[in-house]
Amino acid sequence: MRKKKVLVVDDEKDIVNLIAYNLEQEGFAVQKAYDGHAAWNMVSSPVTRPDLVLLDLMMPGIQGMDVCSMIRKNAATASLPVIILTAKSEHVDKILGLEMGADDYVTKPFNVREVIARVRAVLRRAETKSETDPEGTFTFEGLSIDYGRYEVTVEGKKVALGPMEIKLLTFLTGHPGRVYSRDQLLDHVWGDEAFVEPRTVDVHISRLRAAIEKDTENPQYILTVRGIGYKFADVR
């Protein structure tokens, strides 16, 4: 079986080497980059593209935030799992990183075992299709989804979504009209293996709306039920 490739990106070489050593001990193949330019070169090439990127936010040159945004905007890399590394005090950066498309985050200083657990969890989410996911296709008011291909189009135009946005949309469209709280969405979409907060649900909902809604202030697909949670529009 091919080893999963993890690209570790940080301008602090000691941190890169520490994470790389422990990931290699767990059976991963590790690539290293010390700045945003090198990271993007590896990610954008099909030859060196990893299965997951562990990305520091604050770096010289192209910052991690920008690399994450570039990954999500490129059709070939839009679904590539990304975990951001952020200092404990950088709460705003952590939220912005999630808004830019990161799947999870790890705060510095970190426990190496936690990093490995998060890498495994995010990879598992990216590659595992839930048995409860619907099959076939879904169409509603200009929105079309091919569940088998994980392809989404709006008014005939293909939309690039990150893995968590696809899973959220898949789950909600599989149960149109039903309202789910943030905690319920964490259970159904992220599962027990994720290290996420209820606030993360809001971030991913915002990203999903930005991608598929014509007017994010007045969404027609992903609706907020105030004081309870979210639902996909009622399909008659």
Q: Which CATH number covers residue 227? A: 1.10.10.10
- pLDDT for 193 equals 52
Q: Are the CB atoms for 212 and 159 separated by under 8 Å?
A: yes
Dihedral over alpha carbons 174, 98, 183, 170 (to 10 degrees): 10
- DSSP structure string for 53-93: EEEES--SSS-HHHHHHHHHHSTTTTT--EEEEEETT-HHH
Domain boundary among 97, 127, 157: 127
26-41 pLDDT, tens per residue?
999 999 999 999 999 9
DSSP 8-state assignment for residue 125: H
pLDDT digits (tens, 9 = 90+) for 80-123: 899 988 876 555 556 666 667 788 888 888 889 999 999 998 88
By CB atoms closer than 10 A (0-12, 13-18, 19+), residue 175 is: middle
What the block records as the tokens of 37 is: 């330019």
Q: Residue 219: helix, strand or coil by DSSP?
A: coil
Lowest mean pLDDT among 95-99, 167-171, 177-181, 215-219: 95-99
With respect to residue 154, please indicate whether it lies within any of the assigned structural domains.
Answer: yes
Question: Structural domain tally of the chain?
Answer: 2
Q: Would you say residue 175 has pLDDT above 90?
A: no
140 Cβ partners below 8 Å, 6+ apart?
A: 173, 176, 221, 233, 235
Q: What is the CATH number of the domain that holds 46?
A: 3.40.50.2300
Domain membership flag for residue 58: yes
Domain-located, residue 132: no
Asked whether residue 114 falls in the same domain as residue 171, the answer is no
- Residue 189 lies in domain: 137-232
Assess whether 117 and 146 both reside in one domain. Answer: no
How much of the chain, in percent, has pLDDT values that exceed 70? 88
Bridge pairing between strands 82-87 and 157-159: unpaired
Residues in the chain: 236
